[in-house]
Amino acid sequence: MTVPRGPLSSPMVDVNIYRPGSFLALAMLLVPLLVALVGATSYVLLGEHIPVWIPLLLLLWIPCIGGLWLLMKSVRITPVSIAVGRPWQRWQEVSYTDIERIEQRGLSLHVLSLDGAGMRFTPFLLRDGARLERVLLLKLPPHVIVGKLRRRAQELITGDIHAGPQGALAGTMRIRARMRWTLATLLLALACITGAIAVVWLLALALAIPLALVLLALGLCFFAIFTWLLREVEVSEEGVRVVGFATRKTQQLAWSDVVWLEEFPGQLAIRLRGPRKLRLAGPRLLKRSQADVLEAFLFEYVIERGTLRVPRRWLF
């Protein structure tokens, strides 16, 4: 007789755990080293025995380790709940529907549940803590987000951007560079062209012609950047779509096809390489909300996938 089997339990594929980052590890490693260096420096400069207060400093480090242990929190998020826990302790978990309020106090986020229980954690001390904060602000209903976080959440909710079932970003957002940068490049282009005309009119031809050619070339470069900044970029969970300003020519690149991510210094521009190359305005040229969402998409679908990141000095 065949015994019917119950349904097999599925693995927790929708669980994301954010563990303590490198900041705490560096603090635990560097402080004793700095104390030893201070003792060695005192011995070299004074030419005497090692000061008696050096061992006392090392003893003071013992309660400091306890304080660091209190900060060593991990955060676990699932499609329905959030949990916070320390090493060798049970997770403190609350479902999203039971959250009454979430607010920021200093660098920490405080979560208060309907039954009065509270928990807190510091995204700054967690690996990928900024991503965790964005995911929470996208998952939680707006009425439970208070204080500074509410304004941050309103900036993130652009278009139909939301968190998918596994915490990854989904939806579509259209991006353009800030108007002030676009106007600045147009003014520089007009200034260079005007300068080229002025030097031809005012200076001797032997000096005016090469100087005018340089100014004209600069003007054309600034005008090319101006038209590049006017392009519309559309990002979604599928990939990137770029629409030209004048020609309305469309270029598309799926996230799965990206093999290189090239970054311009200062986050002024980025370039995605795959079957084709797409140059995008970097986060520094975008509004804060759009920059956050673009960085979140790049992290989810490019960086976390292990795509090669290459710094470049010139993208044009």
Are 29 and 98 part of one and the same domain? yes
Are 247 and 265 part of one and the same domain? yes
Higher pLDDT among residues 63 and 298, named by residue: 298
Q: Could you give the 3-state DSSP secondary structure of residue 279? A: strand
Q: What is the pLDDT of residues 233-244, one digit of tens each?
A: 888 888 899 988
- Give the up-direction half-sphere exposure of residue 96: CA atoms within 13 A in the CB hemisphere: 16
Determine the average pLDDT of the residues in 183-199.
92
Are 29 and 138 part of one and the same domain? yes
The answer to whether residues 155 and 142 touch, using CB atoms and an 8 Å cutoff, is no
Determine the average pLDDT of the residues in 77-88.
83
Residue 157 has pLDDT above 90, yes or no: no
Decide if 199 is inside a domain: yes
Higher pLDDT among residues 155 and 223, named by residue: 223
Residue 246 has pLDDT above 60, yes or no: yes
Are 140 and 55 part of one and the same domain? yes
Q: Identify the band that residue 3 occupies on the pLDDT scale cut at 50, 70 and 90.
A: very low
Contacts of 59 (CB under 8 A, 6+ apart): none
Determine the average pLDDT of the residues in 172-196.
91
Decide if 207 is inside a domain: yes
Instruction: Name the β-bridge partners of 312.
Output: none
Task: Indicate the average pLDDT of the chain.
Answer: 79
Residue 7 has pLDDT above 90, yes or no: no
Higher pLDDT among residues 296 and 110, named by residue: 110
Number of domains in the chain: 3
Determine the average pLDDT of the residues in 202-231.
89
- The pLDDT value given to residue 181: 92
Are 152 and 274 part of one and the same domain? no
- In eight-state DSSP terms, residue 11 is P
Per the structure block, which two tokens stand in for 2?
Answer: 């065949």
Residue 155 has pLDDT above 70, yes or no: no
The answer to whether residues 52 and 158 touch, using CB atoms and an 8 Å cutoff, is no
Are 51 and 105 part of one and the same domain? yes
Are 56 and 150 part of one and the same domain? yes
- Give the up-direction half-sphere exposure of residue 8: CA atoms within 13 A in the CB hemisphere: 3
Q: Identify the band that residue 156 occupies on the pLDDT scale cut at 50, 70 and 90.
A: low
- The pLDDT value given to residue 13: 42
- In angstroms, the CA 27 to CA 18 distance is 19
Determine the average pLDDT of the residues in 54-62.
66
Domain that holds residue 247: 230-311
Are 26 and 109 part of one and the same domain? yes
Decide if 112 is inside a domain: yes
Q: What is the pLDDT of residues 14-56, one digit of tens each?
A: 577 888 876 666 666 666 666 667 666 766 666 666 666 666 6
- The pLDDT value given to residue 222: 93
Are 218 and 106 part of one and the same domain? no
Decide if 2 is inside a domain: no
Q: Which of 90-94, 264-268, 285-289, 302-306 has the lowest mean pLDDT?
A: 302-306
Are 223 and 246 part of one and the same domain? no
Which of these three, 202, 229, 256, is where a domain ends? 229
Decide if 165 is inside a domain: no
Higher pLDDT among residues 10 and 201, named by residue: 201
User: Could you tell me what percent of the chain has a pLDDT over 70?
Assistant: 75
Decide if 213 is inside a domain: yes
CB-CB neighbours of 15 under 10 Å: 14
Pairing between β-strand 169-170 and β-strand 74-77 as defined by DSSP bridges: unpaired
Are 80 and 149 part of one and the same domain? yes
Q: How far apart are the first and last CA of the chain?
A: 73
User: Could you tell me what percent of the chain has a pLDDT over 90?
Assistant: 11
Instruction: Name the β-bridge partners of 121.
Output: 109
Q: Which of 24-38, 72-86, 220-234 has the lowest mean pLDDT?
A: 24-38
Give the position of tokens 């002025």: 198
Decide if 146 is inside a domain: yes
Are 238 and 290 part of one and the same domain? yes
The answer to whether residues 259 and 251 touch, using CB atoms and an 8 Å cutoff, is no
- The pLDDT value given to residue 12: 41
